[in-house]
Structure 1
Amino acid sequence: MGRTTKRFRDFSVQTKLTVLAATAITLAVSVACVIFVVLDVRRISASKATQLTAIAETLSTNSTAAVAFGQQDAAEELLAAIKGRHTIDIACILDADGSVFAIYRRFGDQADFHPQSVTLGAHYGDDGFLNVAVPIIDDGDRLGTLILRETTADLGQARTTRILAAAVVLAISIIIGVFASSHLQDSVTAPILRLASTAQKISQSEDCAIRVHHDSDDEIGVLYRQFNGMLDRVQSREKAVIQASERLQELNQALEQRVAERTSELEQSNAALQNQIEAKDLATKQLQNTHAQLLEVSRRAGMADIANGVLHNIGNVLNSLNISANLIDERLRNVKLANLEKAVELLLQNEDDLAEFLLRSDQGKILPRYLGKLSDSMRDDQRSILNEIESLASNVEHIKDIVRAQQSHAGAFGVMEQLQPAALFEDAIHFVHDSFSKHNVEIVRDYGQVPAIEIEKSKAIQIIVNLIKNAKESVLEHDSDLKRVTLRLEQSGDEVCFQVSDSGTGIAPDRITTIFSNGFTTKKDGHGFGLHASATAAVELGGRLSVHSEGIGQGATFTLLLPVSIRTRHKALAG
């Protein structure tokens, strides 16, 4: 059995289909023929019994008078009338006592026949005879019983004739079925072989643009469409990966160029700052010149702080870019092309008996569902890669925004602009946000309804950034779980009030009056001109800078008052 199964498994799909068709036809026609022969033989047997019963009933009616009057000769003569029916061997009449009254034998005495054992009705015996017994009744009285015994040899001949006819029909059906299946099986095997051939071409050439075409809506048609859909998704994913890689290279080049340009600008700015410091040391005897130089150094120091914040932010975004690039690389390396190749290899290995493989083997039955799941998995990989690409693009745009904000502040000195006070606070927060997040310092916004102001944006931003940074450093120096900086906006007459409050170390009462003096500092590495320069810049903007603190450990609040309009600013400067 095992060798036969293995040999059958090695046959071609066409041969297997032919054998299967012939087997199915043979079984179907054989069952039909058996049923036909059985039913027809039963029909003939029933008809034979009905006919013999009718003859017996006729003889019973005709023999009533002979039995009633005891006319045995008349009864035997009546029974002899059936000798024209050659299949009847014995006809017998029993009287009311069950004794033989008259009998007819075609072949002489038959010792094995006992008429008294025959019951009423038609019965086929095991000895090959049909026995029929009917009562002889006259006016409701039973006078006796008439019995007929008929041979069933003709039934055997009828059965043999019909079996031969069924065998001929079976042979003709097998021949016709095999002939028809050999011409129709191409519609099943050809699409499967074409699919396997196409999969082999794709595997060898790695060309996902190849497609298979099939117009039917059967299972093979569904498999064709799923296979083509899977190829479409693989091709789309490859294109997306190539485009993303090219876009990433372009963004990396642009980013490297921008970073190089910004680094060059920072180096030039640091060089200029160093020159200013050296010039300050040489010009100590000229107080007015020293004061002017000190203001310039303060402005550039603020720019350097902002630039450091920009570089810190860019560094964080670059880390995100690197993570996204690594994720894309990992997704690309984990794409399940190997699983697809295994599925194709499995189809090719079973190319000669693909129908048997798909319909009967455990692997073949789950292969279409496996291909569908593999398609879903590759679609998930594609979606994940696209998400990471979108994250890359978003991070690059973030870097552009940071660079644009820094450039706008770096080149805006001396230019008056109409600005919203809340926007000034938010721009300042933008430069120090990462530092606050790193040290878990909370920023609380309490913005009231205030009008727009005409202001020199760069100076205002430097003042606010300096105040927020000082508040953060004060909070970090204070040994407390509450790390909070609060920003408030209020209107006070023709002025807008900018307040920066912290929960830090606070300021001693004796230092409130000297905190804005040039060179005064409480920091170990402080230069002592940040608050002084901020206060001076506030005056140049037509405003003023003040501070309030309840004492050491109670925090501090710095208040910057700036005029709403240029006219108010001129009045303040003139006063």
Structure 2
Amino acid sequence: MNTQPELPRIIVIDDDPIILETIHNTLTDLAILHTTTCPQDALNTLAKLPFDIFITDQIMPDVTGIELMKKAQDINPDIIPVIITANANKESAIDALKNGAYDFIEKPISPIVLIKSISRIWDKLKTDNHNNNLINDIKATNIQLKLQNQELNEKNEKLAKTEETLNKRTKDLRKNVTELLKAEVEIKSSAVKAGMAEVATNILHNVGNVLNSVNVSTSYLLDLVKNKRSNIFHNIAQLLTENKDNLNDFLINHPKGKLLPLLLIELSDAFKNEDKSVIYELNRLSINIDHIKTIITLQQNYADKPNFLESCSIQTILEDALRMVTADYSTHDLQINLDIQEDSLIVTSRHKLLQVIINLLRNARESFVEYEQKNKKVLITLNNNPTTIKIIDNGVGILKENMEKMFSHGFTTKKDGHGFGLHSCYMAIKELGGEINVSSDGLQKGTSFTIILPEKVASGEPQEV
């Protein structure tokens, strides 16, 4: 074990005796000091005696502090240099630190600043020495390998079983991904047949976002399975078996034997982290697959009898729309909230109303594409008497001169827009006997869409539109 003196050994060089006296008076009880005005005397002393810290003035008659510091480090590479100067500026400080100085102290020297600097350096030296002692202690644990050898075979068997389980789960996950991709195609086909092209696009976009997470998790688990750490345990066991007759000597003196304890500790930590990662990824996969199933189920429910008027809960339609866009909104770091004062039960086409809500939510999300901000928010509200739905965002907003054109066929303010989305919303709400309007206070002021649905009594059998 390396021992360390109780006080730091410091050599100080400055051509000003007053500075030397100030440093001596400040550190006399805190360190073992050698002060001198002669650079060569300092180097000669450093070559003969061990020192921990080297304090030098930056500007001296025959040599700079940086030059002297480098010479001192040639003699003792472990010594920690500190530069002091009366001409302090940012450039000189950076230059000193770049050339290896640990600290840079301005004149006139503040005793408090000097003491804090020496204390930091001394703490660092003590920590380094402590770490070296810890390394030596770790090496001493090599003798415990004989006891750990009995556990190697059991761990190897467990690892093989884990690998087999991971292989099976990975195959199952790949099968699920294939089935989900098929379901994605079926969703698109069903949506087109039912006249839900816009809804299907949003659904597929959200499913695609979740599938990306599924693929990431699957790839991670595949890489984990391919990592044949069981071979490492087999090699360790074989190595110990080959040296069983001289195990103590092998563990203490042989280069490979001395490394085994550290290797086992690292492997143990790696396995623990891998177990946590596997559990985390499997949980993520379960959540993502359930989310995709939910989206698919919702889409299938709305594809059933899309052209019928029936008794509908507006709250349920809004909540379903929210579920369908959640993944997309999360991907774009967009917060969405639902504020319902009271549910409204009316006769309407749930398919058409859902299509309008999803189109408006997509429009709200796209309002942040060219207007990036930290707190992106969308709020959906529902009020009664009459049934009123509002979708409010704090996105890019709308110019006043464009307000009356927003629902016109072919009008768009987006670079890749086609001008059909808002027009189709207008036509759908009109067919349902309602009205839709838009308001905005201008660019970067957000936008609010308001849908007012007619009051109808929910009674009788569903009617085809």
**TM-score by structure 1 length?**
0.45
Q: Quote the residue 1:521 is aligned against.
A: 411
Q: Is the 8 A contact 2:381 2:391 kept in 1?
A: no
Q: 5 Å matches for 1:67-78?
A: none
The alpha-carbon deviation at position 238 of structure 1 amounts to: 2.5
Query: Does the C-alpha gap of structure 1 residues 554 and 318 become closer, same or farther in structure 2, counting only changes over 3 Å?
Result: closer
CA distance in 1, matches of 2:280, 2:447: 45
Q: Quote the residue 1:506 is aligned against.
A: 398
The alpha-carbon deviation at position 352 of structure 1 amounts to: 3.5
1:401 to 294, 308, 325: 294
Q: Quote the residue 1:239 is aligned against.
A: 164
Query: Does the C-alpha gap of structure 1 residues 402 and 369 become closer, same or farther in structure 2, counting only changes over 3 Å?
Result: same
Q: Quote the residue 2:428 is aligned against.
A: 537
CA distance in 1, matches of 2:167, 2:275: 12
Which amino acid is the alignment partner of residue 250 of structure 1?
Answer: K
2:449 to 555, 558, 562: 558
Q: Quote the residue 1:251 is aligned against.
A: 176
The alpha-carbon deviation at position 237 of structure 1 amounts to: 0.8
What SS is found at the alignment partner of 1:401? helix
Answering whether residue 303 of structure 2 is matched by residue 419 of structure 1, we say no
The alpha-carbon deviation at position 460 of structure 1 amounts to: 1.4
Q: Is the 8 A contact 2:188 2:200 kept in 1?
A: no
CA distance in 1, matches of 2:365, 2:277: 39
Which amino acid is the alignment partner of residue 521 of structure 1?
Answer: F
What SS is found at the alignment partner of 1:234? helix
Q: Is the 8 A contact 2:397 2:441 kept in 1?
A: no
CA distance in 1, matches of 2:267, 2:377: 53
Q: Deviations over 1:109-147 (max 9, x none)?
A: xxxxxxxxxxxxxxxxxxxxxxxxxxxxxxxxxxxxxxx
CA distance in 2, matches of 1:227, 1:321: 34
What SS is found at the alignment partner of 2:353? helix
Q: Deviations over 1:50-106 (max 9, x none)?
A: xxxxxxxxxxxxxxxxxxxxxxxxxxxxxxxxxxxxxxxxxxxxxxxxxxxxxxxxx
1:261 to 180, 186, 189: 186
Q: Quote the residue 1:304 is aligned against.
A: 197
Which amino acid is the alignment partner of residue 383 of structure 2?
Answer: Q
The alpha-carbon deviation at position 251 of structure 1 amounts to: 1.3
Which has the higher Rg, Structure 1 or Structure 2? Answer: 1
CA distance in 1, matches of 2:330, 2:343: 30
What SS is found at the alignment partner of 1:546? strand
The alpha-carbon deviation at position 304 of structure 1 amounts to: 1.3
Q: Quote the residue 1:352 is aligned against.
A: 245
What SS is found at the alignment partner of 2:398? coil
Q: Is the 8 A contact 2:146 2:247 kept in 1?
A: no
CA distance in 2, matches of 1:354, 1:505: 77
CA distance in 1, matches of 2:202, 2:228: 39
Q: Deviations over 1:441-460 (max 9, x none)?
A: x4453614212423432121
CA distance in 1, matches of 2:426, 2:262: 74
Alpha-carbon RMSD: 4.3
CA distance in 2, matches of 1:380, 1:482: 34
Which amino acid is the alignment partner of residue 199 of structure 2?
Answer: I
Answering whether residue 296 of structure 2 is matched by residue 390 of structure 1, we say no
Q: Is the 8 A contact 2:339 2:382 kept in 1?
A: yes
CA distance in 1, matches of 2:311, 2:150: 63
Which amino acid is the alignment partner of residue 562 of structure 1?
Answer: L
Answering whether residue 360 of structure 2 is matched by residue 467 of structure 1, we say yes
Q: Percent identity?
A: 29
Q: Is the 8 A contact 1:509 1:551 kept in 2?
A: no
The alpha-carbon deviation at position 511 of structure 1 amounts to: 5.6
The alpha-carbon deviation at position 349 of structure 1 amounts to: 1.5
Q: Quote the residue 2:61 is aligned against.
A: none
Answering whether residue 335 of structure 2 is matched by residue 410 of structure 1, we say no
Q: Is the 8 A contact 1:472 1:485 kept in 2?
A: no
Q: Quote the residue 2:89 is aligned against.
A: none
Which amino acid is the alignment partner of residue 388 of structure 1?
Answer: E
**TM-score by structure 2 length?**
0.54
Query: Does the C-alpha gap of structure 1 residues 411 and 244 become closer, same or farther in structure 2, counting only changes over 3 Å?
Result: same
CA distance in 2, matches of 1:252, 1:510: 44
Q: Is the 8 A contact 2:149 2:240 kept in 1?
A: no
Q: Is the 8 A contact 2:336 2:378 kept in 1?
A: yes
Answering whether residue 370 of structure 2 is matched by residue 445 of structure 1, we say no
Answering whether residue 232 of structure 2 is matched by residue 320 of structure 1, we say no
Query: Does the C-alpha gap of structure 1 residues 374 and 465 become closer, same or farther in structure 2, counting only changes over 3 Å?
Result: closer
Query: Does the C-alpha gap of structure 1 residues 376 and 335 become closer, same or farther in structure 2, counting only changes over 3 Å?
Result: farther
CA distance in 2, matches of 1:438, 1:520: 29
CA distance in 1, matches of 2:447, 2:251: 80
CA distance in 1, matches of 2:377, 2:266: 53
Residue segments in structure 2 that go unaligned for 5+ positions in a row? 1-143, 461-465
Query: Does the C-alpha gap of structure 1 residues 224 and 516 become closer, same or farther in structure 2, counting only changes over 3 Å?
Result: closer
CA distance in 2, matches of 1:527, 1:341: 63
CA distance in 1, matches of 2:432, 2:241: 82
What SS is found at the alignment partner of 2:245? coil
Query: Does the C-alpha gap of structure 1 residues 307 and 339 become closer, same or farther in structure 2, counting only changes over 3 Å?
Result: same
Q: Is the 8 A contact 2:382 2:388 kept in 1?
A: yes
- Which has the higher mean CA deviation after the structures are superposed, 253-262 or 431-440? 431-440
Which amino acid is the alignment partner of residue 302 of structure 2?
Answer: H
Which amino acid is the alignment partner of residue 381 of structure 2?
Answer: L
CA distance in 1, matches of 2:199, 2:239: 63
Query: Does the C-alpha gap of structure 1 residues 462 and 438 become closer, same or farther in structure 2, counting only changes over 3 Å?
Result: same
Q: Deviations over 1:270-314 (max 9, x none)?
A: xx7xxxxxxxxxxxxxxxxxxxxxxxxxx83xx212211222223
Q: Is the 8 A contact 1:450 1:496 kept in 2?
A: no
1:378 to 271, 281, 300: 271
